[in-house]
Chain A
């Protein structure tokens, strides 16, 4: 029989006592601070490049798209962050669903907006704006993604790439929301290339980067 050796209890408890670890209230305060700073970075950049700009777009179009996009990102964030407070996080199929739902639903909202406000077809611009919007959407998404990676480093036990991809999709949606409020061009190909594609790219990058940094590490 593999009976538990009696000396192990003292050894393990002594090792734990010797190593400081933050309690949950301390950790939550730190996370709140870091996430707050990261969002401030994104918003500073957003307002630094001009903030909300309507251009020729109807205000109702921008407001509705921004609100729907924000609610979607918030909903996906809630799904990604927790499953009944389990430290193991959401089930893998939920993470996969979030990863794919974000760009799919954002694209659907773009099409829906175009259907409700067809006059936005007129809000066209030069093709080289695709790359600029792509760049800024990714830049807006990176600070919160970095904050999340910092807060979860060495903590995720299972399905590390899936966790990272799902959170990358959420922060990518946040970046897409900001660039949609900022960018005055509303033709379909631009919205897909400059606003929705970054969500997929941030998700893939997050998955690749986080695979090494987030996994629970043995010392």
Chain B
């Protein structure tokens, strides 16, 4: 195995597991689930604001990954694909239930904690209040910048993963994220080199 492959395996074991699963190793789906399930569930819960629906959508997301495993080839990244599937299913579900609301209009506790915790490890009431204000400012951002911020800062995707998911370039993604961080007064934490 090359050095680059070893490094990739260490940092993104889910990509190798997904390639193995596409090739017929049925046990590998568990590894993909362990690597992505939590992040996808947080992504779905925050947007759906309904745990039951989020559980159902998480199951649907993994079933779509399972059904379409033949679309995945070695060397590809599974996270952008999985998040895109989850997002598509979420949009369809919300439309079907006519419950489409503006994202982040009413933030959930999880996102608040993560965002506040990231900028202040010792989360305090003041920090939570600041985070609530931050969410209000986030809502005022242009769509592209807001989504870039959410995917990178809250959902934990890398620049490359977020760019692939949204069908844009890493450079454009960095620019959107940088502008969002700047507008939110977090320019020092942008981490655009990830």
Contact = CB atoms under 8 A, between A and B. Distances in A.
Interface of A: 1-5, 8-9, 11-13, 15-17, 19, 21-28, 84-88, 91-92, 154-155, 157-159, 216, 218-219
A191 to B, nearest CB: 35
A19 B65 CA distance: 12
A157 B85 contact: yes
Nearest to B74: A85
A88 B81 contact: yes
A25 to B, nearest CB: 7
A154 B76 CA distance: 20
B120 interface: no
From B68, B72, B93, residue with most partner A Cβ within 10 Å: B68
Contact of B33 (A5, A13, A91, A157): A13
A84 B76 contact: yes
Nearest to A159: B167
A218 B92 contact: yes
A91 B81 contact: no
B30 A9 contact: yes
B113 to A, nearest CB: 6
13 contacts: A2-B46, A4-B37, A9-B37, A25-B23, A26-B70, A86-B81, A87-B68, A88-B81, A157-B84, A216-B85, A218-B60, A219-B60, A219-B63
A88 to B, nearest CB: 6
Contacts of A88: 80-81, 84, 164-165, 167
